[in-house]
Structure 1
Amino acid sequence: MKTVGERLIEGLAARGVEVVFGIPGVHTVELYRGLSGSSLRHVTARHEQGCGFMADGYARVSGKVGVAFVITGPGLLNTLTAMAQAKADSVPILVISGVNRRDSLGKGLGLLHELPDQAAMIRPLCPTRSLMAAQDLPEVLDWAFACLATGRPGPVHIEVPTDVMPLPCPALPAPQTPARAALPDLTAAALALNGARDVVILAGGGARGHAAALQALAEKLDAPVVQTVNARGIMHGHDLTVPASPSLEAVRALVRSAGQILAIGTELGPTDYDMYVNGGWPDVSGMIRVDICDTQLARHPAAQRLAGDAGAVMAALLDMVAPKPSQGAMRAAIARKAARAELADLDPQMPARLQIVEAIRSALPQALIVGDSTQPVYAANLYYDHDRAGGYFNAATGFGALGFGTGAAVGAALAAPKAQVVCLIGDGGLQFSSGELRTAVDEGLAITFLVWNNAAFAEIADAMRGAGTEVIGCTPSPLQMEAFAKACDLPFTALPPDPEALTRALAQPQSGPRMIEIRVPR
């Protein structure tokens, strides 16, 4: 009879899992037994945090669950940062870890990788279950995938004691199908939208995957669509699109002018809506708010709270609202022009940094741009219209984990093997997670690692100066990029911060991963 470890692999495959990101250890050997001969592809990271970021990037691009295998203790602790980023951005990842044998748990015996209570450490962050008996495996897997597929997505954790993994386990039954969210009563919402003079839509990450429904509803309501970072690209080039941060005054002016706000799949978080912490976000308590999560809906005042899947709600509203006159495109155009002009007022260098990101789009249409916390990404988060829905994402909002880019780019490239993938990362962020470049080499992934090298934590230095604090700790020495690229077996190019030079470099043929360094004068 097969073991729990082998049946677990079968259960993952039966639920559509195709890739597992992991680093094997003595506490997960039995989980790996079933991988041999299975349909699952195993990708070896260089750090467990990278496993989590890879699972995150894979999930964002594929629309499937990203899965990571990690050891107990330090392995799971290393993954926590990535799990918290997935939580903040509503990305479904499943982390399966080992834990020490059942009779040792909580006893402080000094076992290898022992924690006082591993599950208790995870529980405040996300749902977690301990698989304590072989016969519980089907129910635990069904529970995990129900958590991942219903309500607000995010990380889920399963821990398996080392003495449970090798137990004999009968064949698993077919997976249960998670229940779909019910559609709320939309009568009052449709009435309010039909009666409003001007409508503005605030679209967040919950609108991802529903581009057609969002565009159709926006067109019928003649409503400009303001997109947070996690929704960028969803209406590229459309007359009604406003691909700009709600932290900008031009966008706030558009919101103030609206007779009705329709907020779809956005948590209204400060890193999108009040990045500069100036308190200037308008009162939107009269909004109609759509979100999959009841808890999230309760966090902000709203005239109407609609708990449901964004795509289903938008599709249903489309049949209930009346067409409005064509003024929305003009309002959106005014907001776009003013928002872009506002960048130079914030920082004279910001327009040039934005042009770096736009050069990627010009050179590599329909590319996936996976960003880290670095200056061009900050600029693009304020204003940038990507040409692929779901094709621009980063960790510079919300939880804000530095070092996200390299691992997430590996996951994205595996999820979309025919797409061009660009990891846009700073010299500081690269040193958080440089090992994952070797994973890209091992897997033969055509990722461009584009390193913005200003030899500093420049954004933090600026914040210190702005606060009147002496700048300390913000100039860690960068890697010698050419030598590092050579050590990673990557083709290497160095450029000045010139969009035209970058466009030419990106257009060069590529068969595997490569590094392009942009050397920024201090």
Structure 2
Amino acid sequence: MTAASQQSAYPEGSSATRASAEAASIDLTVADSIARRLAQYGIERVFGIPGTHNLELFRSLGAAGIEIISAHHEQGLGYAADAHARLTGKPAVVVTTTGPGITNLVTALATARAASVPILAIAPGIPESGVGRDEGWLHDLPSQLGLMSQLVRSRRAQSGSEAIKFIDEVARSWENERPLPAYLEIPFDMFGAPANICSEGGSTVSALGEHTNATKHDIDRAAQFLASSSSPLIIVGRGATNHLAVGAVREIAEGLGALVMTTANAKGVLDERHPLSLGVSLRTASGKRLIESSDALLVVGSDLGRSEFWGPFPTGGGRMVRVDVDPQTISANADPQFALRGRTEEIMPQLSARISKLASKVKREDVDASLHTRASEAAREISADLVQGGQVYRAFHEHLQDLTAGLDIAVAGDSSQATYFGTATFWKATRPNRFLYPAGYGTLGYALPAAIGAVLAQEVDRVVAFTGEGGMLFSVQELATIAEYSLPIITVVFVNGGYREIRDGMEQAGIAPVGVDFPPPDLVAISRGFRIDARSIVADGEDEIEFREALVWALQQESPTLISVDIGRIES
């Protein structure tokens, strides 16, 4: 999957070539060298919680002019960093302390890994003399590095030079490979030690196209195949959310008359109001039938994962073109006949230009008419499938859509019915990276801290978090963070008395529900305890006018708000 950034991972000209010479001229500590390298790469903000073992790094971050955003749990920090990276198109950095600090972050890094979000986690480790000796150091683990290495690219650095070298390696990988999270560990007794930066320059961020394997001949063959198809279909993943790929997807879809389906994390790559957009519909029975009936598939930046289809990728479809930077992802779950390996921001414009020339030579009037009919029929069938299970959330999202028309908003959600049955279906995204959702890893507790990162990114007009009380309670402490920074987030919490999705699954399997029901919390009282204004309403299951009025109120505020929506009656 290609880098999802809307621009280079780090600004042009800000790579490491200047840092070593500067560092060699003054006395720097290891912590200083790390902070300065991050600043030289354009990092202006770090998400971090100070701890006993990382204080020297925080001293250096402050001296380098880097803003610190704190939170009340490292998992919340990670989710905020994840959303910040998605919105800005730039990598994010998270700093924790040893042991529980970094293990608290693990779930957030796993979420970022599933969505290919570039995050660099930095944490101290115990001194080298104590590693593996079980001597009772504070926050000690048998192997902190070993734990993290199972999840992400990891390095334990013993000097400033080693730390900077790893940061440079990660920066290059984000430019030319699938942008996965990474972890840098430094023994905490090394932070104040001399940096020992060598005099030669560091690595530079490589230029566009260094890792592109697809040739012009490969692209021509794929373009000819797609241009000759009669029922083309495009499937788009998060690897195509950069602005060059987004434009090319639209051009190819319009040039071929191809229908477009997206993964959850690619929602909005094609404006969902576009007549060729079928939205987030890969999981539907009608969507799978459409895949099987298409004579040509173009898959861009997606692993065609089971979590998107809620099962295996449907077999029996037409021949396939896949565009992806990752050598494993490009054949994951389905082997393509045309594999165009490379960054989507480079491959897709070339493919679009070639298809445009080929398509212009073909009289498409009859084809266009049939495609219009196909699009209408597909949209109708998929719409009927999508409303099943999510009808209760329809009116809420329609009010949100109507009241925010003309605004650029981001909606954060959890792996909950309110999101995958509600927001993914009924809220129409007009651009990518506006639907913030933990697809793939499927965690709870993402929505609230993700909304924090989204607001701090300063890329949208408003941010709304839609979640259930089950997911909300996984990260409810971050209401304190929202209040402390006075972030104008609108939090909407649907209350149904527990984990409704799991309860339904237990009943369907003939299992007596256990561990899924709990008394609804008084979310208004909780919010006001954090000095956040809140309202509580009861859903009527019809036009939801009371919710609309509450949303109008929230949109008028410049401070954080919460709306608690009791849907227990209409779900029962």
Task: With the length of structure 1 as denominator, give the TM-score of the two structures.
Answer: 0.94
Query: Mean Cα displacement is larger for which, 372-381 or 437-446?
Result: 372-381
Counterpart residue type for residue 214 of structure 2? P
Of the candidates 546, 551, 559, which is equivalent to residue 501 of structure 1? 546
Of the candidates 189, 192, 199, which is equivalent to residue 232 of structure 2? 199
- Structure 1, unmatched stretches of 5+, are none
SS of aligned partner of 1:36: helix
The 2-side partners of 1:383 and 1:150 are apart by 35
Which residue in the other structure is 2:206 paired with?
178
Which residue in the other structure is 2:24 paired with?
none
Q: Are 1:88 and 2:114 counterparts?
A: yes
Which residue in the other structure is 1:212 paired with?
247
SS of aligned partner of 2:354: coil
Of the candidates 276, 296, 316, which is equivalent to residue 329 of structure 2? 296
How far does residue 207 in structure 1 lie from its aligned partner after superposition? Answer: 1.3
Q: Say if 1:244 and 1:383, in contact at 8 Å, map to a contact too.
A: no
The 2-side partners of 1:259 and 1:418 are apart by 39
How far does residue 196 in structure 1 lie from its aligned partner after superposition? Answer: 1.8
Counterpart residue type for residue 520 of structure 2? P
Q: Are 1:315 and 2:372 counterparts?
A: no
Counterpart residue type for residue 412 of structure 1? A
Of the candidates 411, 415, 419, which is equivalent to residue 461 of structure 2? 419
Alpha-carbon deviations, 1:132-186, whole Å to 9, x = none? 1123233122012223332111211001111211112267956621343325121
Counterpart residue type for residue 207 of structure 1? A
How far does residue 244 in structure 1 lie from its aligned partner after superposition? Answer: 3.3
Which residue in the other structure is 2:529 paired with?
487
Which residue in the other structure is 2:401 paired with?
361
The 1-side partners of 2:118 and 2:67 are apart by 19
SS of aligned partner of 2:510: coil
The 2-side partners of 1:340 and 1:469 are apart by 31
Which residue in the other structure is 1:146 paired with?
172
Q: Say if 2:466 and 2:493, in contact at 8 Å, map to a contact too.
A: yes
The 2-side partners of 1:131 and 1:412 are apart by 31
Alpha-carbon deviations, 1:424-478, whole Å to 9, x = none? 1110111111111111111121111111111110000011111111111101233
Counterpart residue type for residue 514 of structure 1? T
Which residue in the other structure is 2:375 paired with?
332
How far does residue 231 in structure 1 lie from its aligned partner after superposition? Answer: 1.1
The share of aligned pairs that are identical, in percent, is 29
Counterpart residue type for residue 120 of structure 1? G
Aligned length: 515
Counterpart residue type for residue 296 of structure 1? T
Counterpart residue type for residue 32 of structure 1? F
Of the candidates 247, 255, 265, which is equivalent to residue 291 of structure 2? 255
Which residue in the other structure is 1:190 paired with?
223
How far does residue 16 in structure 1 lie from its aligned partner after superposition? Answer: 1.3
Which residue in the other structure is 1:453 paired with?
495
- Structure 2, unmatched stretches of 5+, are 1-26
The 2-side partners of 1:280 and 1:2 are apart by 53
Counterpart residue type for residue 147 of structure 1? S
Query: Mean Cα displacement is larger for which, 363-372 or 131-140?
Result: 131-140
How far does residue 35 in structure 1 lie from its aligned partner after superposition? Answer: 2.5
Which residue in the other structure is 2:18 paired with?
none
SS of aligned partner of 1:266: coil
The 2-side partners of 1:38 and 1:499 are apart by 50
How far does residue 418 in structure 1 lie from its aligned partner after superposition? Answer: 5.0
Q: Say if 2:29 and 2:194, in contact at 8 Å, map to a contact too.
A: yes
The 2-side partners of 1:245 and 1:108 are apart by 51
The 1-side partners of 2:450 and 2:564 are apart by 19
Q: Are 1:516 and 2:563 counterparts?
A: yes
The 1-side partners of 2:61 and 2:67 are apart by 8
Q: Are 1:235 and 2:270 counterparts?
A: yes
Q: Say if 2:295 and 2:319, in contact at 8 Å, map to a contact too.
A: no
| Residues 95, 272 of structure 1: alpha-carbon distance in 2 compared, 3 angstrom cutoff | same
Counterpart residue type for residue 31 of structure 2? G
Q: Say if 1:357 and 1:376, in contact at 8 Å, map to a contact too.
A: no
Of the candidates 123, 128, 136, which is equivalent to residue 154 of structure 2? 128
Q: Say if 1:148 and 1:155, in contact at 8 Å, map to a contact too.
A: no
The 2-side partners of 1:93 and 1:38 are apart by 20
SS of aligned partner of 1:360: helix
How far does residue 383 in structure 1 lie from its aligned partner after superposition? Answer: 5.8
Which residue in the other structure is 1:435 paired with?
477
Q: Say if 2:238 and 2:265, in contact at 8 Å, map to a contact too.
A: yes
Q: Are 1:225 and 2:270 counterparts?
A: no
Alpha-carbon deviations, 1:299-350, whole Å to 9, x = none? 2322122211122211001121122542434322221221111235x33xx2
The 2-side partners of 1:358 and 1:170 are apart by 59
| Residues 35, 138 of structure 1: alpha-carbon distance in 2 compared, 3 angstrom cutoff | closer
What RMSD, in angstroms, separates the aligned Cα atoms of the two structures?
Answer: 1.9
The 1-side partners of 2:231 and 2:373 are apart by 12
How far does residue 259 in structure 1 lie from its aligned partner after superposition? Answer: 1.3
Query: Mean Cα displacement is larger for which, 285-294 or 149-158?
Result: 285-294
Q: Say if 2:85 and 2:92, in contact at 8 Å, map to a contact too.
A: yes
Counterpart residue type for residue 354 of structure 1? R
Instruction: Give 1:390-405 correspondences, 5 Å limit.
Output: 390-395=433-438, 397-405=439-447
Task: With the length of structure 2 as denominator, give the TM-score of the two structures.
Answer: 0.86
| Residues 78, 204 of structure 1: alpha-carbon distance in 2 compared, 3 angstrom cutoff | same
Query: Mean Cα displacement is larger for which, 80-89 or 106-115?
Result: 106-115
| Residues 27, 184 of structure 1: alpha-carbon distance in 2 compared, 3 angstrom cutoff | same
Instruction: Give 1:272-291 correspondences, 5 Å limit.
Output: 272-273=308-309, 275=310, 277=311, 281-284=314-317, 286-291=319-324
Query: Mean Cα displacement is larger for which, 385-394 or 111-120?
Result: 385-394
How far does residue 280 in structure 1 lie from its aligned partner after superposition? Answer: 7.9
Alpha-carbon deviations, 1:6-41, whole Å to 9, x = none? 221111111111211111101111110112243321
| Residues 166, 478 of structure 1: alpha-carbon distance in 2 compared, 3 angstrom cutoff | farther
How far does residue 417 in structure 1 lie from its aligned partner after superposition? Answer: 5.8
Q: Say if 2:267 and 2:279, in contact at 8 Å, map to a contact too.
A: yes
Alpha-carbon deviations, 1:106-125, whole Å to 9, x = none? 22111011111111111121
Query: Mean Cα displacement is larger for which, 23-32 or 328-337?
Result: 328-337
| Deviant stretches of 4+, over 6 Å | none
The 2-side partners of 1:419 and 1:74 are apart by 36
Q: Say if 1:147 and 1:156, in contact at 8 Å, map to a contact too.
A: no
Q: Say if 2:292 and 2:314, in contact at 8 Å, map to a contact too.
A: no
Of the candidates 45, 58, 62, which is equivalent to residue 32 of structure 1? 58
| Residues 328, 96 of structure 1: alpha-carbon distance in 2 compared, 3 angstrom cutoff | farther
Which residue in the other structure is 1:46 paired with?
72
How far does residue 298 in structure 1 lie from its aligned partner after superposition? Answer: 3.2
The 1-side partners of 2:233 and 2:323 are apart by 14
